[in-house]
Amino acid sequence: MDTTLIKSCEEKAQQWLASSVYDDETKKEIRQMLESDDKSALVDAFYQNLEFGTGGLRGIMGAGTNRMNRYIVGMATQGFANYIHKAFPGRQDLSVVVGHDCRNHGREFAETVANIFSANGIRVFLFESLRPTPEVSFAIRHLGAVAGVNVTASHNPKEYNGYKAYWADGAQVIAPHDTGIIEEVNKVRVEDVKFQGVKELIEIIGGEMDYDYMEAVKTARIDADVIQRQKDLNIVYSAMHGTGRVIVPLCLRSWGFQNIHVVPEQMVVDGNFPTVVSPNPENAEAMTLGMKLGTRLNADLVVATDPDADRLAIVCRDNKGEWMIINGNQTCMMFCYYIIKNKKALGQLKDTDFLVKTIVTTEVITKMAQKNNIELRDCYTGFKWIAREIAISEGKKNYIGGGEESFGFLPFDKVRDKDAPASICLICEIAAWARDNGMTLYDLLMQIYLEYGFSLEHTINVVRPGKAGADEIKAMMENYRQNPPKEIAGSRVVLSKDFKLLKKYDAEGNASPLEMPAASNVLQYFCEDGTKVSIRPSGTEPKIKFYFEVKDTMGCANCYTGCVERAKQKVEEIKKSLGI
């Protein structure tokens, strides 16, 4: 290991030991790292400052500059408070909402955040205990707060915690506030942080907000009659040890569902997530207990939320009665299909309605929107961009749904982030409607493919850790940018999009402007046969992500397996074409 780097980290660690700011427990942990023969833990804890990015913070918990601890959280909050005062000069009624999920140190960090905001003269609405991310977003708007923080690392492993920063619209911050907050955070030293709270400025909230949020979720319901007819739909739900444990069953009952079962082992609040390797509903392993209970109870579907209840997972039975996890793109397709079809059938669809999807999400939704004359907007990855589309059309056009491939959907506009409780209620309504029409969710998925064409989406994460990895990822992006493929897996590239340069190119290389709200380091290629490839480096992890979408024609529901196999072969050909 680099001795210069070790020495630099030792010096930073000694500064923490010499300071009167840090507590004894933190200093004890630092001494253990300094005394250890293996300096890898010390280097990882101190080699850089945990960066406050456009979405906030996320990192492994522990002592050090590159760790999530009350001091790093404190500096972030002090900078955030400073920016709020800059953004609202002279305003006396400033308030923020603060929440947290089930993770270890979540309550401690949330109370630290609340104390610092209050010490800076800002009123704080602090949730009494763990709450879903979407409820925090809802509360910001509902209470007229100027900002908010939710302490959560979403679906990351148990070692992590995080800090999501929200603005007055209930969405995660975007320009100009994101860069403005980052600038203020970077100015703060730990000695500048006002840790001593003002109790009179902190108000505890809970049950009343739960009720108001639950009532808001009910506005996402489309067809109450079909739920009444199928109120005995057999539903199994898992909270994955997190924040959905109370609110999701309550919301389902408020919609009219009466046959709800929970996975008892995963209803226990536990930041160590003892029943899963990782609390990510995208992973099949995390759904094992739910599927076992579903089998025992002969359930119609199994649903789950991640720890902060912004993402959802859906498991239904296939044509052989076996459990099948609906992937993120299929989930988004299903929501959009039902929203369009049933709003139209019930006379609820308006000319001013619009849907939103992210640029890496399936183009099947584009076909749906075109066929039904519904406006569809493409935005960057991340729900803050979907929230932006809602905001710019507020009072003029009507948002009816939006989602992304990573298991997130928002079916109404009273929240401005992914909303698993509302989405779970709606997917159960969709399952009820399907059963009302003699179908399962699997049958409905096949119907969508038959109507709009088969599509398989596949994501590859190429991980390259450290500085050398970051340089390699940068070089890969530059190579694709300077030498764009003319064909991919034997199909001619007919359209290329470079979101960093905000330009698109036809097959002959003719350029035209690409209209987006900001530049982003993303490349996309669209082929003659319908293949779509998107490439982007991750903003939070040392990896580059490749999103593939492969098309086929599905002649009948029984042709699905064959389409999947052909598509998988095509994915391998695409990987060879791109050299990955």
Strand partners, 506: 495
Q: How far apart are CA 512 and CA 509, in angstroms?
A: 10
Instruction: For the chain, state the CA radius of gyration.
Output: 24
Q: How far apart are CA 54 and CA 288, in angstroms?
A: 34
Burial-class residue 10 by CB neighbours within 10 Å (0-12, 13-18, 19+): middle
Q: How far apart are CA 191 and CA 15, in angstroms?
A: 13
Look-up of token digits 């003659």 = 528
Active site residue 491: no
- Enumerate residues 6+ apart whose C-beta is below 8 A from 560: 446, 449, 454, 554
Q: Is the dihedral of CA 553, 559, 562, 564 positive or negative?
A: positive
The answer to whether 335 and 430 have CB atoms below 8 angstroms apart is yes
**What is the 3 state secondary structure string of 74-122?**
HHHHHHHHHHHHHHCCCCCCCEEEEEECCCCCHHHHHHHHHHHHHHCCC
Tokens standing for 59?
């990192």
Look-up of token digits 């059938």 = 345
Q: How far apart are CA 360 and CA 547, in angstroms?
A: 7
Q: How far apart are CA 239 and CA 279, in angstroms?
A: 10
**What is the 3 state secondary structure string of 537-573?**
ECCCCCEEEEEEEEEECCCCHHHHHHHHHHHHHHHHH
The answer to whether 173 and 203 have CB atoms below 8 angstroms apart is no
- Enumerate residues 6+ apart whose C-beta is below 8 A from 488: 525, 527, 531, 533, 574, 577, 578
- Enumerate residues 6+ apart whose C-beta is below 8 A from 335: 401, 403, 409, 411, 423, 426, 427, 430
Q: How far is CA 540 from the centre of its chain?
A: 12
Name the DSSP letter for residue 337. Answer: H
- Report which of 284, 239, 282 is spatially closest to residue 263, judged by C-alpha positions: 239
Active-site option among 95, 118, 137, 154: 154
DSSP for 385-405, please give it: HHHHHHHHTTTTSEEEEEEET
Residues annotated as catalytic (active site), given as ranges: 154
